[in-house]
């Protein structure tokens, strides 16, 4: 093979790799001075707005935005899965508001939104999570001595602040459009959590079946089932952080989509965007597990 053929083969190979989405892009520092929460909200607006078009909406539109965060070691103590649910009101008729949700405005659209982010109630002031404690507790659920905690559903702003405090990597998927029935199942799930009858436990293997206590993954998993399984031997083991949310999306895609609740296709790898901490502008990024990401400092 002559030199020109080798160069052509190299360029052709790189082209195929790029088309397959395997090349990692440089971290984007253009919004570095913006708080992480502002960057997240701006991305949600920027990705949903084109879906709505330029003219008036003939009917309400519904979307989910799944999230996760994790640290460099992917430790369960510093990992979390959560999801935001959005309803954009149609403009041709008076909207029947969802009780308990605040109405907001962006450009010419009115919308309401909520987040399912299930954590111990005092996590903002005491962010120390007991996940596995006791001999071989990761494999043997009965050996885990971590206590149950009173749970609380945190807002998106609170949850993003927790991520920024720990300087972790944050992943966002979607937006994925869902049917009206999917939105109201999400509302029902939020009401169930807000009722206060279910507690929080990171390792919920012994408690989720009877709805005694659940973790963040099972709080958001399945728009029609409360507790789908996943992980090693179906126990939920290693289902935290990015893996946890990806598992939820697999559930949505394989089951909810069949039931006509999820209206968009899902690719858990290609659909993911992220935000990573960088101590200085255009400087090194301590932890970047994402193919495409923007940098944040606070």
pLDDT of residue 90: 92
pLDDT in tens, 57-89: 889 999 999 999 999 988 999 999 999 999 999
pLDDT of residue 199: 96
Highest mean pLDDT among 52-56, 76-80, 257-261: 76-80
pLDDT of residue 10: 44
The 8-class DSSP code of residue 278 comes to -
pLDDT of residue 235: 44
The rounded radius of gyration (Å) of the Cα atoms in the chain is 21
Higher-scoring residue by pLDDT: 53, 16: 53
Q: How many CB atoms within 10 Å of residue 101?
A: 15
Q: What is the mean pLDDT of the segment spanning 86-104?
A: 88
Q: What is the mean pLDDT of the segment spanning 196-213?
A: 91
CB 81 within 8 A of CB 248: yes
pLDDT reading at 171 higher than 90: yes
Give residues with Cβ within 8 angstroms of 297, minimum separation 6: 32, 33, 277, 278, 279, 281
Q: Residue ranges of the domains in the chain? A: 24-296
pLDDT reading at 136 higher than 60: yes
pLDDT of residue 56: 86
Q: With pLDDT > 90 as the criterion, what percentage of the chain qualifies?
A: 65
pLDDT band at 237 (very low <50, low <70, confident <90, very high): low
Q: What is the mean pLDDT of the chain?
A: 87
């Amino acid at each position: 093979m002559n030199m020109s053929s080798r160069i052509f083969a190299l360029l052709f190979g790189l082209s195929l790799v790029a088309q397959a989405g395997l090349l990692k892009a440089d971290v984007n520092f253009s919004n570095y001075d913006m708080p992480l929460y502002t960057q997240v909200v701006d991305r949600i607006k920027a990705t949903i707005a084109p879906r709505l078009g330029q003219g008036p909406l003939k009917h309400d539109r519904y979307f989910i935005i799944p999230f996760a965060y994790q640290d460099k070691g992917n430790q369960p103590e510093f990992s979390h899965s959560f999801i935001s649910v959005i309803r954009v009101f149609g403009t041709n008729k008076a909207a029947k508001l969802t009780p308990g949700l605040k109405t907001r405005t962006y450009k010419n659209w009115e919308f309401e939104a909520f987040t399912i982010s299930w954590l111990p109630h005092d996590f903002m002031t005491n962010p120390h999570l007991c996940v596995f404690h006791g001999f071989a507790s990761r494999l043997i659920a009965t050996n885990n001595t971590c206590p149950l905690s009173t749970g609380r559903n945190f807002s998106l702003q609170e949850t993003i602040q927790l991520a920024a405090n720990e300087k972790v990597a944050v992943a966002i998927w979607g937006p994925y459009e869902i049917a009206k029935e999917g939105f109201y199942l999400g509302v029902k799930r939020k009401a169930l959590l807000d009722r206060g009858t279910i507690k929080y436990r990171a390792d919920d293997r012994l408690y989720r079946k009877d709805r005694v206590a659940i973790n963040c993954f099972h709080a958001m998993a399945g728009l029609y089932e409360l507790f789908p399984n996943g992980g090693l031997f179906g126990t939920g083991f290693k289902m935290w952080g990015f893996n946890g949310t990806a598992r939820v999306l697999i559930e949505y895609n394989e089951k909810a989509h069949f039931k006509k609740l999820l209206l968009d296709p899902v690719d858990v790898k290609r659909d993911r965007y992220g935000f990573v901490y960088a101590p200085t502008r255009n400087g090194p990024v301590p932890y970047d597990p994402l193919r495409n990401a923007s940098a944040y400092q606070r």
